[in-house]
């Protein structure tokens, strides 16, 4: 048996690190796009974009993590969807600006790398990239002994996409009378987990295997539902309704993440307008109802922390609201007209 290196004895096993990366070439190949150059393992990922279809291409970037949803992944030992969560989150972040994804890079940090867990995480990244037409061109894996608790890790991701300058969705064309559509979320997505875990595990004394009252599923299943990507359903609508040299009919979008309705929708609201959200326009999922009741959380705070069943909002001209809802439904996404744009101060009204 070969002797361990001094570095391995200190907790960083380079040989093990190389071993767990052996599956990377095949996984990255599954997300390949023709613009990708070079081989896996270089100092940087190479991507030669073809912008011929864009008159004035604008690169759009975003970086994010999945927060304390990771704690639930550790409890349930489910690691295969975390990467998918992160890719979908990042895709939605650039989608609301009108962008389509080009490539993604991941970061995984852990105290000790466990090959099977690492493989599950990366497979999730690859699956998310493949489903969104995004190339996984590289990443970083860091072994940091003593920094993380045993069996725990952290992930983050960076995405780069592109949109034609004339097709950017920025809210500047929003007018009073426009309709706010709400697209159904799959669950908590990747936000509000610190409060949800406190209510479910600390206060209600539930376990991941416990049946969630009124929900018909376990706590673990409810909390680990994959963050939904809206790209394949929404991007075709942008191509249809936001035509060059014409006033866009899809005026603004918001990804309902940290900060809920109150912090995300105003990002693309002109200063003299409010979004008036009518809370009886869609069914609040049982999970959120339970969290509010068991945690004694006010309605205002619930909408400030959680997505409340709405993962993305679209502000559209009234003439296309119905057709957008129908188109989204055909592509597997339920949506409702949940509000209107009214005169105001650039805020959200919950009524």
Q: What is the pLDDT along the chain (351 residues), one digit of tens a residue?
A: 456 788 776 777 777 667 766 777 777 778 989 999 977 767 888 999 999 999 999 999 999 999 999 999 999 999 999 999 999 999 999 999 999 999 999 999 998 878 889 999 999 999 999 999 999 998 888 889 889 988 899 999 999 999 999 999 999 999 999 999 999 999 999 999 999 999 999 999 999 999 998 888 999 999 999 999 999 999 999 999 998 878 899 999 999 999 999 999 999 999 999 999 999 999 999 999 999 999 999 999 999 999 999 999 999 999 999 999 999 999 999 999 999 999 999 999 999
End-to-end CA distance of the chain: 69
pLDDT of residue 98: 97
Confidence (pTM): 0.94
pLDDT of residue 65: 96
* Domains of the chain, start order: 6-167 (3.30.1330.10), 179-350 (3.90.650.10)
pLDDT of residue 2: 56
Contacts of 185 (CB under 8 A, 6+ apart): 228, 256, 285, 307, 309, 310, 311
Angle at which helices 321-330 and 231-241 cross, to 10°: 140
pLDDT of residue 278: 97
pLDDT of residue 151: 87
């Amino acid at each position: 048996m070969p002797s361990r290196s001094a570095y391995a004895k200190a907790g960083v096993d380079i040989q093990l690190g190389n071993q767990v990366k052996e599956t990377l070439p095949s996984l990255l190949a599954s997300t390949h796009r023709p613009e990708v150059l070079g081989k896996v393992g270089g100092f940087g990922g190479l991507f030669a974009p073809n912008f011929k279809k864009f008159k004035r291409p604008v690169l759009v970037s975003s970086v994010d993590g999945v927060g304390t949803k990771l704690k639930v992944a550790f409890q349930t030992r489910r690691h295969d969807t975390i990467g998918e969560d992160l890719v979908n989150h990042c895709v939605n972040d650039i989608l609301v600006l009108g962008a389509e994804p080009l490539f993604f890079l991941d970061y995984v940090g852990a105290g000790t790398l466990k090959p099977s867990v690492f493989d599950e995480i990366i497979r999730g990244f690859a699956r998310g990239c493949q489903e969104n037409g995004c190339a996984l061109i590289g990443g970083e894996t860091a072994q940091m002994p003593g920094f993380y608790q045993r069996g725990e890790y952290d992930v983050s991701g960076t995405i780069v996409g592109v949109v034609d300058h004339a097709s950017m969705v920025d809210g500047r064309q929003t007018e009073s009378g426009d309709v706010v559509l709400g697209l159904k979320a799959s669950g908590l997505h990747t936000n509000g987990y610190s409060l949800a875990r406190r209510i479910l595990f600390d206060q209600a004394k539930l376990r991941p295997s416990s049946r969630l009252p009124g929900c018909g599923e376990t706590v673990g299943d409810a909390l680990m539902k994959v963050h939904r990507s809206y790209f394949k359903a929404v991007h075709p609508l942008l191509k249809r309704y936001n035509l060059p040299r014409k006033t866009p009919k899809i005026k603004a979008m918001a990804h309902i993440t940290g900060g809920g309705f109150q912090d995300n929708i105003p990002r693309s609201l002109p200063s003299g307008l409010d979004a008036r959200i009518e809370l009886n326009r869609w069914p609040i999922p049982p999970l959120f109802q339970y969290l509010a009741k068991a945690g004694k959380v006010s309605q205002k705070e619930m909408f400030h922390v959680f997505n409340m069943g709405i993962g993305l909002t679209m502000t559209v001209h009234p003439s296309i609201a119905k057709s957008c809802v129908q188109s989204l439904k055909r592509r597997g996404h339920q949506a409702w007209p949940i509000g209107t744009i009214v005169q105001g101060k650039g805020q959200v009204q919950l009524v």
